[in-house]
Structure 1
Amino acid sequence: MIILVLIVLVASLLQTSTGYGFSIIGTPFLLLIYPVHTAIQINIILSICLSAFMIFKIRKEVDNSLLIRLIKGSIMGLVLGIFVYLYLDIRVLKMIVGALILVLTVLIIFKLTMDRTRNKDFLTGGISGLLTTSIGVPGPPMLLYFSGAGIDKTTLRSTTLAYYLFVYFASLVMQISFGGTSKEAWVSSFLAMLPLFAGILLGQLLFKWISQKTFRIITYVILIFTGIYLLVTSF
């Protein structure tokens, strides 16, 4: 219970203050204490609550045209991802998440840049959708794309939260429809609500007072540690 509280508090703080981090931080550590499908669904349930709460405060900052393209692109990815969720082995899942996080982090540290296009918006949404239904982690492809394209932190935070609200809800419906759910997932999610909202409140304060450079450094450290740990424990 203490581990769950700490995971949710840190993950929601990062998500609220930077626009990403809940799934990247939350899912790998939840996989250490819960069965894979339970961990993924806890992450999704809490992410829906976080996005729904935040979107009313930041909805005016959303890039609507970008949001629509991401959602359209995600539809095919959501469908493909449900098959990965149902049939892929947990060790393979951990290996994929760990390798993905490490590659992503290295690319961002070395300041990979790219131009934004409509097709890349659709592709990013598709890959993100696939990762949402399969492992509950939509953030890495969006973080890589948005960081590489140089999108400002306000637009990044608001647009990703709006996108998460759609893609997580669709993913949860598909997972329950095809793979069912468990009482443990919902009870644990309910117990994690207090640290979730505490992290949201702290994150909003930090968004105003802490520089984005500081958050990037903290995030890099956590991402690298998480990626290495998952790769090591997948063998």
Structure 2
Amino acid sequence: MEDWILLVVIVLAASLLQTSTGYGFSIIGTPFLFLIYPAHTAIQINIILSLCLSFVMIYNIRKEIDPVLLTRLIKGSILGLVPGIFIYLYVDVQWLKMVVGGLILLLTALLILKLTVRQTVTKDYVTGGISGLLTTSIGVPGPPLLLYFAGVGTRKETLRSTTLAYYLFVYLASLIMQIGLDGTNSETWISAAIALPSLFLGIFLGQFLFKYMNQQVFKMITYVILLFTGLYLLISSM
């Protein structure tokens, strides 16, 4: 029962953040789900709930999607999905968490120091590829997208809508590959079902907050989330 209460709180906070900023469900949800579930179960719960969130949100924000960028990200992700699933199946999750945590902290520090990135076609594809790899391996596609979009100064409306549309593809592909190659279990689906009401509540509250969040606040939240996630992944991997 205590685990289910914690699950509900985690999903509420993560969905609130995702809906109000366009990112954060996996970045917040997955690390904390590791506290109460085995790694593969936590990753699949996160992917299932993220898919539900994206399906619910996508219709209302579809006009803000950047179709050219979305296409590049999806094409790039395909190159990362396959190596990512092998990492999911065979690499020690603790080692992967340490590498990802260190990378997030390094890149976040560069962003805080006002590092800017020039958007190019190649970088769009590479960002999608890294995101795809992280999705099938640990269920967290957000950090590469967030770091890249923050560096190029993407508008928050475009960031939120384009990433949600991208998640629909990359999460569905990842879930199919994970279940096909490694299976699933009843605990995953029961836990996801229990968390759905808190997911929908977070979506409702997050849409309200999004209307009143300016770009500067948006950036500050970005940095805090990335620093927290990087530190958490490093500490939890030791």
Check whether TM > 0.5.
yes
Aligned equivalents of 1:44, 1:148: Cα separation in 2:
26
The match for 1:120 among 116, 123, 130 is 123
SS class of match (2:148): helix
Measure how far apart 1:92 and its partner are. Answer: 1.1
List aligned pairs for 1:69-88, cutoff 5 A.
Answer: 69-88=72-91
- Cα distance in 1 for partners of 2:28, 2:51 equals 16
Q: 1:143: how far off?
A: 0.7
Q: 2:37 aligned with 1:31, yes or no?
A: no
Give runs of ≥4 in structure 1 deviating > 6 Å: none
Aligned-residue offset at 1:117: 1.0
Consecutive unaligned residues in structure 2, runs of 5 or more? none
- Note the C-alpha offset of 1:6: 1.2
* Aligned-pair CA distance for 1:17: 0.9
How many pairs were matched up?
Answer: 235
Task: Mark the runs of 5 or more structure 1 residues left unpaired by the alignment.
Answer: none
Q: How do residues 95-110 of structure 1 correspond to structure 2 at under 5 angstroms?
A: 95-110=98-113
Kept after mapping to 2: 8 A contact 1:28/1:94: no
Please state whether the residue corresponding to 2:119 is helix, strand or coil: coil
Q: CA deviation at 1:88?
A: 1.1
After superposition, the C-alpha distances for 1:15-49 in whole angstroms (9 at most, x for unaligned) are: 11111111111111111111000000001000000
CA distance in 1: counterparts of 2:188 and 2:182, whole angstroms: 13
**Amino acid corresponding to residue 235 of structure 2 in structure 1:** V
**Counterparts of 1:219 and 1:231, CA distance in 2:** 18
Structure 2 SS opposite 1:181: coil
Offset, 1:221: 3.0
How many angstroms apart in 2 are the aligned matches of 1:212 and 1:14?
Answer: 15
1:157 to 1:222, Cα distance in 2 relative to 1, 3 A: closer
1:32 partner SS: coil
Instruction: Name the SS of the counterpart of 1:113 in structure 2.
Output: coil
> Are 1:191 and 2:191 an aligned pair?
no
User: What TM-score, normalized by structure 2, do the two folds share?
Assistant: 0.94
Counterparts of residues 31-180 of structure 1 (less than 5 Å): 31-180=34-183
1:123-145 deviations in whole A, cap 9, x for unaligned? Answer: 11111100000010101111111
Q: Which one of 216, 220, 223 corresponds to residue 223 of structure 2?
A: 220
Q: Provide TM-score, normalisation by structure 1.
A: 0.95
Give the root-mean-square deviation of aligned CA atoms. 1.4
SS in 2 for 1:20: coil
The CA distance in 2 between the partners of 1:64 and 1:229, in whole Å, is 34
Amino acid at match of 2:156: K
Q: Report how far residue 91 of structure 1 moved.
A: 1.5
The amino acid across from 1:65 in the alignment is V
Aligned residues with identical type, % of pairs: 70
Deviations 1:78-102 (A, max 9, x none): 0110000001113213213322332
Q: Which residue of 2 aligns with 1:14?
A: 17
Report the alpha carbon displacement of residue 103 of structure 1 after superposing the two structures with TM. 2.4
The secondary structure found in structure 2 opposite 1:192 is: helix
Name the amino acid aligned to 1:199.
G
In the TM superposition, residue 219 of structure 1 has moved relative to its aligned partner by: 4.2
